[in-house]
Amino acid sequence: MNTPARRHLLRRLQETLRQSLHHAVLIAAVSIGSILSPASARSLDEMLAAHEFSVCAMEDDLPFSSRGNGVKGFHIDLAQAIADRLGVVLKVIWVPSREKVRMTNCDAMMGAASFDAASGSQPKSENRALVVSAPYTTVTTVLVTRPGVSPVHALADLKALHVAVPSGSVSHILMNDNDIPVWVRFRNDAEILEAVSSEQADAGVVSQVGLAWYNKHHPQTRLGRNDTLLTDQSFQFDIGIGLRRADRAMLERVNAVLKTMREDGTLTAILGQYGIAPVALPRPAK
């Protein structure tokens, strides 16, 4: 059902995703102001003078980020590589939830969704709340099902099942619109995948990044997978680095660093450790 109310909610969710990304399915509808309002992140000159590049990251959110010893997550590995190339020290500001980002002054969030061609372009003004760099990877969304569930070919096949989704997410709206029973007590991919694997839920909606990480560490798990059911733009998009209150020079420098990292193989190496591929760049016109 393509109602005006649903279209409004989808637009609002897309705007939220521009500012802060885990992935489209997991982020609840948090307003732009609640994420960014008190921030006063720095220009390139200010950042270089402070000799510090600061990023906000979730404390326990692998494969994206982790505060614990050992694996740091690809957001942190990528941020460290960028800081090294900028010649500054990386500072990670750990937050328990995305809503807490607004209480910090970090320079960047390492995953920001791009829904249009403006990603990576020059900021319209020096005071934009968030500017997204050139994309470095693509996020897609998949449906997973517990062992024993018949293959799902259409949304109607889910009506007899209980589907795990985060409350307020795009997938939550989609399931409600199609009268599909949902469970919404889950915060991230790992919790949804654990619920489906343990058969607490019949199915779940997760990112391909989270699923690849889960499969790597749970090779004995055999979940069904559908990559073609969720194909709307809200479920498949490129992501870049969200630079908060960035000036033109900051955006240009970060984009130049990403370009160099792509060309020398660093980006592929970092993402490859987590089963992720860099975004495919368009072929140059002949």
pLDDT in tens, 217-229: 898 888 999 999 9
Nearest to 189 by CA among 172, 210, 204: 210
The CA distance from 230 to 60, in Å, is 27
Nearest to 123 by CA among 257, 11, 245, 237: 245
**Phi and psi at residue 103, to the nearest 5°:** -90, 5
Decide: 234 and 152 in contact? Cβ < 8 Å.
Answer: no
What CATH code is assigned to 31-137+239-272? 3.40.190.10
Average pLDDT over residues 37-41: 51
pLDDT of 33 reads 35
Fold of 141-234: D-Maltodextrin-Binding Protein; domain 2 (3.40.190)
Residue with tokens 């009268």: 179
Share of residues in the chain with pLDDT > 90 (%): 50
pLDDT of 186 reads 84
For the chain, the structural domain boundaries read 31-137+239-272, 141-234
The answer to whether domain 31-137+239-272 and domain 141-234 are alike in fold is: yes
pLDDT of 10 reads 54
The CA distance from 206 to 171, in Å, is 10
